[in-house]
Structure 1
């Protein structure tokens, strides 16, 4: 694998943005492993791996062994920094949603032309705030993403404003979303996006939700899973011991990688 640290300029955000990238690389010998990396490394599947509040482009690499986990999967991993923008075009004129959903994929395909442009080989996964962002990408851009996964995501925030206010004050949230009473039924409401997608008749991406049984966001994840079930949307919903922390996320990112529709995956079931 190749691990790259890049600074790219975003015309949307009008600022430099840091991005960490893991790319498959042909190798003849890998010290510390028992396998060689093989493949033609064209049309490479790509995973956009999103961070949560308090994290940045480096946090997945620092808190998990993500590079090792994907080393035999033939999968590229894009880890951008999106600040505290909640993958949303904010009211303070920082358009993080446009950046993550439109500009970043375009830049990545320009810089790394081996990345696949196929829907079925493009994925989004995130934790907490990033779990919200990954689900939002799948529901709002179903033509681009074949599978999305949320780990402990704030996936039903429009109905659970109290969960947000337990984390930060109203001023912070309204700087991002605008008046909180207007979130429901907007592009920032995953439940609304789900209903729009179902009504459109477009193909829904594969969806994976998981949450720790001691996590504050468990109720919201159960509500979203129930909404998917009642709308006859195929999905995977799992809970397990754990809280809103890296002990849980490090274990479950491995399960998500095993769930993704990848040709080279090996079983990580536990």
Structure 2
């Protein structure tokens, strides 16, 4: 049996009251042993409830020794915004700190994972590439892995998030982050990329996989029939759990 918890607290990074959902094994609620943890990020226009409402993630982790933490990050692209709050710092630093204290979660690299879909796929890979020593593995499902390519699709959002600052070659550019990893970091961090062939992000994912592979990253890419849709992501989150070996 598992427990689904709604957690509301004040973020000092954002200076906002925020929400996140947590899935925990019920038999571990009174245990003092730290749990492995998966941080699961939502897509654009979603919130912390969407994974629960549109996939069977609760059922998929029922027999696993795993906590799943689902924070909300609005339409931030998991970025410290030029004209808004510092959502990347919130997701990458404050959420693990707060969730770890609330639920006795592991902070060791070997037991920490991150994944997301679409905007959240970008956020998951960005977080793992920025802090490779904190994650055993990361996964992106239909992710916006070429963030510069998405600028014209969301001009208003990107104006608030990035302003006039350049994306290419910055800490918001997955290509730049991948190129900055040391040989040891490349070996230790496992990446999983999946995108359906009917998805508008498919070409961007194939290009990033090719670049990351040539750069020596430990990356797996799975493609196949599927669009930018919850049916595909419900199937793929099961594959992610298998890939993570948790």
TM-score with structure 1 length normalisation? 0.86
**Would you say 1:101 and 2:86 are equivalent positions?**
no
SS in 2 for 1:235: strand
Tell me which protein shows more helix as a share of its residues: 2
CA distance in structure 2 between the aligned counterparts of 1:75 and 1:183, rounded to whole angstroms: 35
Aligned to 1:132: 122
**Residue in 2 that maps onto 1:80:** 71
| Cα distance in structure 2, aligned partners of 1:74 and 1:48 | 14
Supply the distance in 2 between the matched residues of 1:105 and 1:260 (Cα, whole angstroms): 19
Q: State the distance in 1 between where 2:172 and 2:219 align.
A: 21
- Selected match of 1:66 from 53, 57, 66: 57
Query: C-alpha distance in 2, partners of 1:104/1:24?
Result: 20
Specify the structure having the higher radius of gyration (Cα).
Answer: 1
- Give the one of 31, 45, 57 matched to 2:48: 57
Contact residue 18 and residue 81 of structure 1 kept, 8 A:
yes
Query: Is the 8 Å Cα contact of residues 119 and 146 (structure 1) preserved in structure 2?
Result: yes
Tell me the residue number matched to 1:8. Answer: 9
Show structure 1 runs of 5+ residues with no match.
Answer: 28-39, 263-270
Deviations 1:190-223 (A, max 9, x none): 1101111147x53541000000100110111001
Secondary structure at the residue paired with 2:195? strand
**What CA distance in whole angstroms lies between the structure 2 residues aligned with 1:77 and 1:17?**
17
Q: Does 1:121 align with 2:111?
A: yes
1:119-268 to 2 correspondences below 5 Å: 119-158=109-148, 160=149, 163-166=150-153, 168=154, 170-179=155-164, 182-198=166-182, 201-203=184-186, 204-262=188-246
| SS of equivalent residue, structure 2 residue 23 | strand
- Secondary structure of the 2:18 match is strand
In structure 2, how many angstroms separate the alpha carbons of the residues matched to 1:171 and 1:18?
25
Whether contact under 8 Å (1:51, 1:60) holds in the other structure is: yes
| Distance (Å, rounded) in 2 between the aligned partners of 1:196 and 1:54 | 31
The number of residue pairs the alignment matches comes to 242
Query: Per-residue deviation at 1:164?
Result: 3.7
Superposed structure 1 runs of 4+ greater than 3 Å apart: 201-204
SS at match of 2:69: strand
**TM superposition shift of 1:41:** 7.1
How far 1:52 sits from its partner (Å)?
0.2
| SS state at 1:202 partner | helix
Partner of 1:46: 37
